[in-house]
Amino acid sequence: MHRQKRPLRAMRKRARRAFCEVMAFRAGLAAALLLGMPLASEAAPAAEGETKPAQAKLEIAGAIQPGGLLFVKAPPGTSALKVNGQAVLPAPDGRFLVGLPRDSQGSILLQADRVAAPPVQAELVVPRRTYRIQRLPALGTTDTPAQDWLDRRAREVAQISAAKQAAAADQTAASGYGQMFSRPAAGRISGVYGSQRVFGGLERPPHWGLDIANATGTPIRAPAEGIVRLAGGPYLLEGNMIVLDHGAGLVTLYVHLDRLAVKSGDKVKQGEQLGTIGTTGRSTGPHLHWGLSLMRPPARGGGQFAEMRLDPALLLN
Ligand SMILES: [Zn+2]
């Protein structure tokens, strides 16, 4: 049975890779087209025998699709990178991390503003992504939670949010964001990013992560180097939970754990055990809910960082 499954899986993987290449090519082509516009005075053809200066361009890596995380390398002299006019913080390694939200679609303009040089632009074409939407009858009774439940929940939300804000505020604490991410646990994919349930027209929040189902006790390992910002619980919904900071405002979340093998403040290497799969909190069976968030600074400086929830599955190859 397994012998038959393997080639199919390899085929799917190849198909997926081909798709990514097509998208990368389309983005590259768009960039080239825009670069061909009369933006740069240095675009004049170099005279015979003269060394042609390297063409300034944006190098883009990552999945160009909703929920994807892009790594953008801007040309030398870049003072700011803007995504549809909004500036992005540079990562400690000088690249820019750009998240594509769940419902992004169509054209996105990247622009690198440069010191004493014309700006460089690239247009990304984000394809439409369809999500599994489950339409279910309206819930008969909606229980109003008790006040003590609400009070406890408010404290939990504040604690989890503070851990993410701490990661956002100190973007140089870890450098795992630059690594190739590995899968945090073995198991069956039982839930995907972006799917949503609608009860009688009432939309529940989308599923912000990837569910990996396996037996309680299955090890969960750090997909990349990081610093543990939170290892706590059990929380009412998340159960035992870990917030792992990979630097540059990139965090991964581990929810419904049976046991925690790390504590807040611990530094972990890629592959180091974080805990084990469980079914704590609001969960119907043992699985890991794996989330990925990019914390972005507020538009006008000061205040809290905003959380952009991305698809961790797109980080894996
Ligand atoms: Zn989940």
Locate 225 and state its tokens: 């180097």
User: Exposed, middle or buried: residue 102 (CB in 10 Å: 0-12, 13-18, 19+)?
Assistant: buried
Residues 228-249: tens digit of each pLDDT = 999 999 999 999 999 999 999 9
What's the rounded Cα separation, in Å, for the pair 159 and 238?
Answer: 12
Greatest mean pLDDT among 27-31, 43-47, 162-166 lies in 162-166
- CA–centroid distance, 288 to ligand 1, in Å, is 7
pLDDT at site 279: 98
Locate 226 and state its tokens: 């990081």
Residues 128-176: tens digit of each pLDDT = 999 999 898 887 766 788 999 999 999 999 999 999 999 999 999 999 9
- CA–centroid distance, 212 to ligand 1, in Å, is 8
- CA–centroid distance, 289 to ligand 1, in Å, is 4
**Smallest Cα–Cα separation from 277: which of 259, 251, 253?**
259
Which residues lie closer than 8 Å to 239 by C-beta, 6 or more apart?
Answer: 233, 255, 256, 257, 278, 279, 280, 281, 282, 283
pLDDT at site 54: 61
Locate 46 and state its tokens: 């170099």
Comparing 142 with 109, the larger pLDDT belongs to 109
- CA–centroid distance, 158 to ligand 1, in Å, is 20
- CA–centroid distance, 106 to ligand 1, in Å, is 27
- CA–centroid distance, 248 to ligand 1, in Å, is 24
pLDDT at site 53: 57
CA atoms within 13 A on the CB side of 93: 16
Say whether pLDDT at 185 is over 50: yes
Average of per-residue pLDDT values in the chain? 85
Say whether pLDDT at 264 is over 90: yes
Which residues lie closer than 8 Å to 11 by C-beta, 6 or more apart?
Answer: none
- CA–centroid distance, 191 to ligand 1, in Å, is 6
At residue 51 the predicted structure's pLDDT band, cuts being 50, 70 and 90, is: low
At residue 16 the predicted structure's pLDDT band, cuts being 50, 70 and 90, is: very low
What's the rounded Cα separation, in Å, for the pair 55 and 27?
Answer: 16
**pTM of the model as a whole:** 0.82
Q: Which residues partner with 250 through β-bridges? A: 294
* pLDDT average, residue stretch 189-209: 93
Residue 158 φ then ψ, to 5° = -65, -40
Locate 190 and state its tokens: 């039982």
- CA–centroid distance, 291 to ligand 1, in Å, is 8
- CA–centroid distance, 313 to ligand 1, in Å, is 12
- CA–centroid distance, 154 to ligand 1, in Å, is 21
pLDDT at site 139: 76
Say whether pLDDT at 200 is over 90: no
CB 179, CB 247: distance < 8 Å: no
Say whether pLDDT at 9 is over 70: no
Q: Which domains does the chain have, with CATH numbers?
A: 2-126 (2.60.40), 133-315 (2.70.70.10)
What's the rounded Cα separation, in Å, for the pair 8 and 19?
Answer: 16
pLDDT at site 138: 84
- CA–centroid distance, 290 to ligand 1, in Å, is 7
Residues 80-98: tens digit of each pLDDT = 999 999 999 899 999 999 9
The dihedral through the CA atoms of 148, 149, 153, 154 has a sign that is negative
pLDDT at site 31: 36
